[in-house]
Amino acid sequence: MVENNKNSSINWDEVLKKDVRGIDDADFGRVHELDEMFILTQKGTLTREKFYFPKSLADRFDGDVLYLRVTEEEAKKNYTRDSLINEEEEHINVVEERIVISKTETVGD
């Protein structure tokens, strides 16, 4: 089943090893792996760039290319990873605190 519109479901069995493109024809390589919720793509030969995209970003599949609703900048910022996020993995926000210490000389009354 090849789908060409946003309202149709994609036959995920057909997208393996197919090219993946984003907004403005951003190249995300090829579909390497699929799981229930994510699409793993790999780009490059020597140094492989890996992207883990949620399937919800899929726009359409034309039989040769899977199109995603994501820009290259968004993909690099939010979906570049070495491995899939585990349910046990938590996001920890790092907060930096700086303490400035100074001396002020005062004259007594």
Residues 45-101 have pLDDT tens digits of 878 899 999 999 999 999 999 999 999 999 999 999 766 555 444 444 455 667 777
Span 12-30, pLDDT tens digits = 999 999 999 999 999 999 9
Nearest to 22 by CA among 63, 72, 76: 72
Within 10 Å of residue 78's Cβ, how many Cβ atoms?
13
The domain ranges of the chain are 19-78
Q: What is the pTM of this model?
A: 0.68
Question: Which residues are within 8 A (CB) of 11 and not within 5 positions of it... i.e. 6 or more apart?
Answer: 1, 2, 3, 61
58 CB burial (10 A radius; 0-12, 13-18, 19+): buried
- Helix/strand/coil percent split, the chain, to 5: 15, 30, 55
